[in-house]
């Protein structure tokens, strides 16, 4: 899981290689765990800092945590596109199908692709 998660980030701009089904799912699991941990730690730190400032309002905490989570999600978009393109290559589909990620309702297509076995070489 650690190797797949590291590859997810290291191969952010690698659209030429392939990602096996195991690579894909281990990277997804590793990043989900990482995202939850970073969100919890970040929320606790922001809450502690705001408690020291004595802001008196929880609205500020909500705004800061929301901005923090949105930043994390935006940081994951490019590596996720790369991983999906590499997965498309692995199952023998055109990497240009990765452009379908722009259309919100195509998530089911990428979910199905993620379960397909690797093509025979």
Mean pLDDT per 10-residue section of the chain, whose length is 121 residues: 92 92 93 89 79 67 79 88 92 89 86 87 68
- pTM as predicted: 0.77
Dihedral, CA of residue 12, residue 15, residue 16 and residue 22, to nearest 10: 70
Strands annotated E in the chain: none
| Tokens matching residue 95 | 């990497």
Give the pLDDT confidence score for residue 54 in this predicted structure.
66
Q: What's 91's DSSP letter?
A: T
The angle, 0 to 180 degrees and rounded to 10, between the axes of the packed helices 59-90 and 2-10 is 90
Give the pLDDT confidence score for residue 45 in this predicted structure.
82
> Quick one: which of 20, 1, 2, 30 has its CA closest to 86?
20
Give the pLDDT confidence score for residue 26 in this predicted structure.
95
| Tokens matching residue 115 | 């379960």
């Amino acid at each position: 899981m650690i190797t797949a998660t590291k590859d997810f980030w290291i191969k952010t701009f690698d659209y030429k290689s392939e990602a096996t089904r195991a690579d894909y799912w281990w990277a997804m699991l590793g990043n989900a765990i990482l995202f939850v941990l970073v969100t919890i730690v970040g929320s606790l730190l922001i809450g502690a800092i705001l408690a020291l400032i004595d802001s008196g309002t929880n609205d500020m905490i909500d705004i800061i945590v929301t901005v923090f989570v949105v930043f994390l999600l935006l940081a994951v978009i490019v590596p996720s596109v790369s991983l999906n393109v590499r997965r498309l290559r692995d199952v023998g589909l055109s990497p240009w199908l990765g452009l379908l990620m722009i259309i919100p309702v195509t998530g089911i297509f990428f979910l199905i692709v993620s379960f397909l076995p690797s093509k025979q070489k």
